[in-house]
């Protein structure tokens, strides 16, 4: 009889331990690597935006580290936002561009929003969700990390992230050619 009670107690203890583990939070995402070169033209950033750097632009840019959660000992003072820009015109033709925008202000709402989880994708989302912007968090020394941007039900950035970005002020903006869309018409007689 004692053996039966002991086995039952062990089984109960195992059931309680396993059930308690089911409610445990998922481990935190890996921390993003810190780099000295935040770059909107890095191949990984362009790929996230659905673009590829045209070989005519010149030397490929250095790889960007993977995105992840902000390291605990990293203290950003600004944001570098990379997004699909408009078009640029030069002697070669019309180019699709990447816009690089520096944002400053109170980063706390953004940092809080970046810790939110991505929402589960809904079944009724429209096709062709807009690309997420590439984000770099930049510290006072110019070092940067690529945070993971949490997404909403249809794959766009969560509203909380968009609202926090909208609350920052733009301090600098530049457009860079990336892909030749249309070649220039050569002048007659050439």
What pLDDT score was predicted for residue 23? 42
What pLDDT score was predicted for residue 17? 40
How do 144-145 and 169-183 pair as beta strands? unpaired
CB atoms within 10 A of CB 143: 16
What pLDDT score was predicted for residue 26? 52
**181: Cβ contacts below 8 Å, ≥ 6 apart:** 87, 93, 94, 95, 96
150 contacts 158 by C-beta, under 8 angstroms: yes
Per-residue CA distances from 20 to 12, 15, 26, 86 (Å) = 12, 8, 13, 52
156 contacts 32 by C-beta, under 8 angstroms: no
Output the DSSP codes for 55-112. Answer: GGG-SPPPPPPPPBBPPTT--EEEEEEEEEEEEEEETTEEEEEEEEEEEES--HHHHH
CB atoms within 10 A of CB 128: 7
Enclosing H/E stretch for 4: helix 2-22
Instruction: Give Dmax over CA atoms of the chain in angstroms.
Output: 106
What pLDDT score was predicted for residue 147? 96
- Each residue's pLDDT, cut to its tens digit, for the chain (190 residues) gives 444 444 444 343 433 343 444 444 456 678 999 999 999 999 999 988 888 888 877 778 899 999 999 999 999 999 999 999 888 998 888 998 999 999 999 999 999 999 999 888 888 888 766 668 899 999 999 999 999 999 988 888 999 999 999 999 999 999 999 988 888 876 654 4
What pLDDT score was predicted for residue 91? 86
Cα–Cα distance, 35 to 37 (Å, whole number): 5
What pLDDT score was predicted for residue 76? 97
């Amino acid at each position: 009889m004692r053996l039966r009670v002991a086995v039952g107690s062990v089984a109960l203890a195992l059931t309680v331990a396993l059930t308690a583990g089911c409610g445990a939070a998922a481990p935190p995402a890996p921390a993003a690597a810190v780099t000295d070169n935040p770059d909107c033209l890095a191949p990984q950033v362009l790929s996230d935006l659905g673009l590829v750097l045209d070989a005519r632009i010149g030397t490929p840019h250095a790889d960007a580290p993977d995105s992840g959660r902000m390291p605990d000992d990293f203290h950003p003072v600004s944001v570098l936002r990379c997004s699909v820009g408009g078009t640029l015109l030069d002697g070669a033709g019309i180019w699709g561009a990447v816009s690089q925008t520096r944002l400053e202000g109170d980063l706390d709402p953004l940092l809080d929003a970046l810790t939110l989880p991505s929402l589960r994708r809904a079944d009724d989302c429209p096709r062709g969700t807009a690309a997420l912007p590439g984000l770099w968090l930049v510290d006072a020394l110019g070092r940067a990390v690529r945070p993971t941007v949490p997404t909403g039900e249809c794959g766009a950035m969560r509203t909380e992230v968009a609202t926090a970005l909208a609350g920052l002020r733009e301090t600098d903006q530049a457009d860079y050619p990336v892909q030749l869309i249309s070649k220039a018409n050569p002048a007659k007689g050439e």
